[in-house]
Amino acid sequence: MKKIILIGNGMTGFKFCEKFVASSLRHEYELLVFGEEKHPAYDRVHLSSYYTGTQADDLYLAPSNWYLENKIHLRTNEKIVQIDRESKSVLSEQGKSYAYDILVLATGSSAFVPPINGLNKKGVFVYRTLSDIDEIKKYVPHAKKAAIIGGGLLGLEAAKAVLDDGLQTSIIEFAPRLMPRQLDDRAAEILKTTLQELDLEILLNKSTEKIIGSDKIEALQFTDGSNLKTDLLIISAGIKPRDELAKSAGLEIHPRGGILVNSRMETADPSIFAIGECVVVHEMVWGLVAPCYEMAEVLIDNLQNGSSEFLGFDLSSKLKLIGTDVASFGDAMVKDENTKTIIYENKASGIYKRLNITKDCKYLLGGILVGESEEFNLLKQVVNNKMPLPANPEDFILGARGGDSSAGIGVADLPGSAIICSCENISKENIEMAIEMDEAQTVPLIKKCTKAGTGCGGCIPMLDDILTHYLKSQGLEVRKTICEHFDYTRQELYDIIKVNEIKTFDELLKQYGKGSGCETCKPLIASLLASIWNDLIVKQDTIQDTNDRFLANIQQGGVYSVVPRVPGGEITPDKLILIGQVAKKYDLYTKITGGQRVDLFGARVDQLPIIWEELIAGGFESGHAYGKSLRTVKSCVGSTWCRFGMHDSVSFAIEIENRYKGLRSPHKLKGGVSGCVRECAEARSKDFGIIATEKGWNLFVCGNGGANPRHADLLASDLSKELVIKYLDRFLMYYIKTAEPLTRTSKWLSNLEGGLKYLQDVVINDCLSIGDKLETEMDQVLSHYKCEWTEVVKSPELRKKFRQFVNTDQKDESIKFVSLRDQKMPAK
């Protein structure tokens, strides 16, 4: 039997194996695969999850027995060091020779390391393999400060890893902006500001000349003469093709590195082929998973006498970098006389959106999304399928009337040939066939049947949209499972947790899930646990959000804000004095918020418990400004003081706020109570608003401010206080039970089939016969309320979590402030 030797068992090499198994080649050839790492092929795209606790086995693209079952001979931990083209054989590091009929090079890439003096010192690492991660994790306990060379995708991922370990972190980028290949100046500035707010130091236009230290790193010296003290350095400045084996064999190499191949993945030697990040084709190294997978598919077809060619690839990408969405698609930065640009920028919210369109406004060319990227998949499809633009293309990023951001184009408008999963080259038609023919009526089943969504995972939201649309078009029930780790919808998990009295993420994962969880399911389940049991959210280690972890909002410069609850905006002189005393003692910036509270800015994380200890002793409670929960119930002075006031809006606002304080929900909640129709409390811009009438109170629901403001709708008129609370209990609990994660009440209502009329039927007419149950569940949740900060202050164990660094009690000396109007502000 003839033999194919594959050198390289990375993601591209594995894809070749997978396509080989599905082809006719397996009947003609024996496949021998060499990997120099001890692990079989694993998912490098999600390498950072290994840093945060995912086991190596969970990242394997297939277990070792998969190769045996498919008669592939895999030899791990065996490096090939020589190719003998004359004898058509390869030589391993162990001195063993292996003959081939066809040789495929999938040697991948290695980390690009700039020429810097002192690279051999202890504490200097690259961020590329599982072994690299192991070495970094071993060294982290010996470090307090980390530096990352590289402000691209890999560098920012590495920065997140060490930042989460509590190290003060600096990012060093040679270019004048972060992610220079994907973002324009304005987008990069938004990203930079967002990262700085998380206490990341960003150093741009910096070239590292020397690593200072005796046997281990102590500082970096830059070419401009400046220095940066650091205990740990991670170099993540890009990749370089692994072409040394091909070069020593006399194969042609591109002047900038990389094995030269044609569009059929052929080298000049008719028996040798190359695929993946080790090659240059069309004058480019293609450093993303999807194009490398297509190269493997092209080669398999051509080895079967096919005529496939690699003709280039869409390099659109969407990532979540340190909690911030960043995406670019199509021609992201095109700007010439034949194009127009639509830009939305909100510096306060850290959002930047750019669309590049043709001069005649007919077609979308590309764009950039930072801070919010829900539109990414659809916009990419509009570009790739050359779909005509609607009359108002700005609606894609600004939102059309009613809050719809699709500008009238949705998955139903995409052609069947539209490639939804570029990693696996899966079309919309393929997905719909799997839903219909294979009854793949959940996203996990679609992934299993088609392999769509199993690469980078960026297409999963669109898989969900296609599934939803298809099932609805067939009159079938739509069942949205949350992720690959839980084959349940949010509502099903809600019931599972409640009925089985499950109190932790690990318990739920063990009984009803698989794997280790992800950034989708962990915060979602933590939110469900908090909504159902109203237990302390700080106990849940799976919470991914810094604000929940430290019960405070992180601000500019890495400091935090303290927001005590002030129900209804009413506060006594003694409590005002206490706030002033605490602010003065700890040198905090003070500001009255839009929700009638006092916000104290500038506290270090280690100061939070002692500040709250003083506030709690004075009668304050947590204001939950950090949580997806009730924030405030704003009030006017009402009939107590105002000559127009019809009822006592302050007392009612205090009663409502005290009732629902601490209530966890899919998104934050705000309320308002106005004493008359003059609406001084702005109740109709809130998730629920109560306005006095001559006969009682009008109850409005599902309004909000923000980027897409929406007036609340009238749910019921002229209600007594008791009926207002009854309907609010039902409305809020129904929202908590049925809304998708991070969905505001306004968007929830717009997605609710039947809209306001249906909501009125559920809440007022009790059409589902669940009214009493909703009220009972609300009473149960509210009965478990405890002030989170009071519990933290009383618990020595919980207080231990509030440290500047994980491995020392030392304070962060890099936090600096400057004066502003007799108060302090973060130094830029």
DSSP code per residue over 297-329: HHHHHHHTT-----------EEEEETTEEEEEE
- Contacts for 522-529: CB closer than 8 Å, 24+ residues apart: 523/741, 524/482, 524/490, 524/493, 524/741, 525/486, 525/493, 525/497, 527/628, 527/664, 527/665, 527/666, 527/741, 528/490, 528/493, 528/494, 528/497, 529/497, 529/502, 529/503, 529/504, 529/505
Q: In the prediction, which pLDDT does 297 show?
A: 94
In angstroms, the CA 499 to CA 704 distance is: 33
Query: Does residue 21 form part of some domain?
Result: yes
Place of tokens 């590329």: 128
* Closest alpha carbon to 303 in 29, 490, 90, 50: 29
pLDDT digits (tens, 9 = 90+) for 759-791: 999 999 999 999 999 999 999 999 989 999 999
pLDDT digits (tens, 9 = 90+) for 130-154: 999 999 999 999 899 999 999 888 8
Query: Does residue 115 form part of some domain?
Result: no
3-state secondary structure of 354: strand
- Of residues 54 and 232, more confidence is placed in 232
- Residues 817 and 827: beta-carbon distance below 8 Å: yes
Query: Does residue 726 form part of some domain?
Result: yes
Is the pLDDT at 405 greater than 60? The verdict is: no
Q: In the prediction, which pLDDT does 46 show?
A: 82
Ramachandran bin of 340, using left for φ above 0, alpha for ψ from -120 to 50, beta for the remaining angles: beta
Mean pLDDT in residue range 644-651: 93
In angstroms, the CA 476 to CA 456 distance is: 29
Mean pLDDT in residue range 711-721: 94
Is the pLDDT at 544 greater than 70? The verdict is: no
Looking at the structure, tell me whether residues 664 and 774 fall in a common domain. Answer: yes
Place of tokens 């990414």: 376
> Which of 189, 212, 237 is the last residue in one of the domains?
237
3-state secondary structure of 209: strand
Phi and psi dihedrals of 783, rounded to 5? Answer: -70, -20
- Residues 2 and 268: beta-carbon distance below 8 Å: no
Task: State the total domains in the chain.
Answer: 5
- Of residues 671 and 400, more confidence is placed in 671
3-state secondary structure of 100: coil
3-state secondary structure of 39: coil
Q: In the prediction, which pLDDT does 656 show?
A: 96
The pairing of beta strand 109-111 with beta strand 102-105: unpaired
Query: Does residue 344 form part of some domain?
Result: no
Looking at the structure, tell me whether residues 761 and 709 fall in a common domain. Answer: yes
278 Cα distance to chain centroid: 29
- Residues 570 and 558: beta-carbon distance below 8 Å: no
Looking at the structure, tell me whether residues 758 and 641 fall in a common domain. Answer: yes
Q: In the prediction, which pLDDT does 403 show?
A: 44
Looking at the structure, tell me whether residues 702 and 763 fall in a common domain. Answer: yes
Q: Is the dihedral of CA 793, 794, 798, 799 positive or negative?
A: positive
- Residue 152 tokens read as 């691209």
- Residue 101 tokens read as 């009929």
What is the CB neighbour count within 10 angstroms for residue 248? 11
Is the pLDDT at 58 greater than 90? The verdict is: no
pLDDT digits (tens, 9 = 90+) for 798-822: 888 887 776 667 777 777 788 888 8
Q: What percent of the chain has pLDDT over 90?
A: 56
* Closest alpha carbon to 251 in 242, 239, 264: 242
Element holding 618 (H helix, E strand): none
Lowest mean pLDDT among 195-199, 416-420, 622-626, 689-693: 195-199
Query: Does residue 356 form part of some domain?
Result: no
> Which of 271, 288, 303 is the last residue in one of the domains?
303
Looking at the structure, tell me whether residues 606 and 656 fall in a common domain. Answer: no
User: Which CATH number goes with the domain that contains 617?
Assistant: 3.30.70
Domain of 252 in residue numbering reads as 2-110+241-303
In angstroms, the CA 558 to CA 543 distance is: 19
- Residues 391 and 446: beta-carbon distance below 8 Å: no
- Residue 53 makes CB contacts below 8 A (sequence gap 6+) with 516
- Contacts for 775-781: CB closer than 8 Å, 24+ residues apart: 775/726, 775/729, 775/730, 775/733, 777/733, 778/729, 778/730, 778/732, 778/733, 779/729, 781/531, 781/532, 781/533, 781/534, 781/663, 781/733
pLDDT digits (tens, 9 = 90+) for 547-598: 777 888 878 777 888 999 999 999 999 999 999 999 999 999 999 988 899 9
- Residue 808 tokens read as 């020392």
- Residues 334 and 366: beta-carbon distance below 8 Å: yes
Number of helices followed by number of strands (H, E) in the chain: 28, 39
- Residue 715 tokens read as 């749910």
In angstroms, the CA 11 to CA 166 distance is: 31
Lowest mean pLDDT among 664-668, 703-707, 724-728, 733-737: 703-707
Is the pLDDT at 739 greater than 60? The verdict is: yes
Place of tokens 């998380």: 198
Query: Does residue 457 form part of some domain?
Result: no
Give the pLDDT band (50/70/90) at residue 402.
very low
Phi and psi dihedrals of 119, rounded to 5? Answer: -65, -20
- Residue 481 tokens read as 């499972």
Q: In the prediction, which pLDDT does 407 show?
A: 57
In angstroms, the CA 257 to CA 107 distance is: 13
Mean pLDDT in residue range 520-539: 80
409 Cα distance to chain centroid: 25
- Residues 715 and 731: beta-carbon distance below 8 Å: yes
CA-angle at 787, arms to 785 and 789, nearest 5°: 150
Q: Please state, rounded to an integer, the average pLDDT across all residues of the chain.
A: 89
Looking at the structure, tell me whether residues 661 and 748 fall in a common domain. Answer: yes
Q: In the prediction, which pLDDT does 406 show?
A: 53
Q: In the prediction, which pLDDT does 487 show?
A: 83
* Helices 460-473, 376-384: inter-axial angle, 10-degree rounding: 80
In angstroms, the CA 709 to CA 502 distance is: 37
In angstroms, the CA 399 to CA 250 distance is: 57
In angstroms, the CA 643 to CA 655 distance is: 22
In angstroms, the CA 345 to CA 349 distance is: 9
Amino acid identity, position 585: K
Give the pLDDT band (50/70/90) at residue 706.
low
Q: In the prediction, which pLDDT does 290 show?
A: 86
pLDDT digits (tens, 9 = 90+) for 413-452: 888 888 888 888 899 999 999 988 887 888 878 888 998 8
- Residue 725 makes CB contacts below 8 A (sequence gap 6+) with 656, 659
Looking at the structure, tell me whether residues 655 and 780 fall in a common domain. Answer: yes
- Residues 238 and 112: beta-carbon distance below 8 Å: yes
Distances in Å between the alpha carbon of 91 and those of 7, 95, 163? 11, 6, 42
What is the CB neighbour count within 10 angstroms for residue 613? 16
CA atoms within 13 A on the CB side of 710: 24
Looking at the structure, tell me whether residues 16 and 100 fall in a common domain. Answer: yes
Q: In the prediction, which pLDDT does 518 show?
A: 78
Looking at the structure, tell me whether residues 170 and 231 fall in a common domain. Answer: yes
Is the pLDDT at 479 greater than 70? The verdict is: no
Looking at the structure, tell me whether residues 637 and 778 fall in a common domain. Answer: yes
Query: Does residue 643 form part of some domain?
Result: yes
> Which of 286, 303, 320 is the last residue in one of the domains?
303
CA-angle at 10, arms to 4 and 13, nearest 5°: 30
Query: Does residue 461 form part of some domain?
Result: no
Is the pLDDT at 484 greater than 80? The verdict is: no
CA atoms within 13 A on the CB side of 261: 34
Mean pLDDT in residue range 84-98: 96
Beta strands in 362-478 (DSSP E): 364-370, 419-421, 426-427
User: Which CATH number goes with the domain that contains 173?
Assistant: 3.50.50.60
In angstroms, the CA 412 to CA 219 distance is: 56
List residues bridging with 364 in a β-sheet: 357
pLDDT digits (tens, 9 = 90+) for 263-291: 999 999 999 999 999 999 999 999 888 89
Q: In the prediction, which pLDDT does 404 show?
A: 46
Q: In the prediction, which pLDDT does 408 show?
A: 65
Looking at the structure, tell me whether residues 207 and 276 fall in a common domain. Answer: no
CA atoms within 13 A on the CB side of 746: 22
Mean pLDDT in residue range 701-726: 89
- Residue 795 makes CB contacts below 8 A (sequence gap 6+) with none
CA-angle at 424, arms to 423 and 425, nearest 5°: 100
In angstroms, the CA 789 to CA 794 distance is: 9
Looking at the structure, tell me whether residues 753 and 771 fall in a common domain. Answer: yes
3-state secondary structure of 265: coil
* Closest alpha carbon to 427 in 417, 438, 441, 412: 417
Give the pLDDT band (50/70/90) at residue 189.
very high
pLDDT digits (tens, 9 = 90+) for 4-44: 999 999 999 999 999 999 999 999 999 999 999 999 999 98
Q: In the prediction, which pLDDT does 341 show?
A: 92
